[in-house]
Amino acid sequence: MPLFHKQQTQEDLDQNYYKRRTAYNQAKEEEREKIAKQRGIEDAHKIADKKPFYQKLIGVASAIGKDLVAASGNVNTDALFTFDNPEPERQSKRKHKRNKRNKA
């Protein structure tokens, strides 16, 4: 006849039950600590290996620049836009008002 958990008493358990249970719980806790340390080390490596955003931008810009320099022999340089020397702004024409006081 099976005994339910609520009906079990200390006499129904064998004498080494508590030793086995504590050993089981201790081993389980040690294994959890090992796994947690391993995951912590992996996360630290991920953070350390991560490049800042500005370094990623510099890498992309330098790669594009290298490609442009490599292909620049085939490109008409007059067709490229340059922003180094912008055209001077045109001056607007102003009408000069005559001063009646100075004429007399």
User: CB neighbours (10 Å) of residue 30?
Assistant: 10
Structure tokens at 30: 């040690």
Q: What is the mean pLDDT of residues 42-68?
A: 85
Higher-confidence residue: 27 or 69? 27
82 is a domain residue: no
> Does the residue 8 lie in any domain?
no
Residue 43's pLDDT is 92
Domain-embedded: residue 25:
yes
Residue 79 lies in a domain: no
64/61 Cα distance (integer angstroms): 5
Model confidence over 15-52: pLDDT tens digits? 888 899 999 999 999 999 999 999 999 999 988 888 88
User: Mean pLDDT across the stretch 71-88?
Assistant: 61
Assess if residue 29 is contained within a domain. yes
In the chain, the number of structural domains is 1
Q: What is the mean pLDDT of the chain?
A: 77
- Cα 74 to Cα 68: distance, rounded to the nearest angstrom: 10
3 with 12: CB under 8 angstroms?
yes
In a domain, 101, yes or no: no
Does any domain span residue 24? yes
Residue 39 belongs to what domain range?
14-73
Judge whether 46 lies within some domain: yes
Q: What percent of the chain has pLDDT over 70?
A: 62
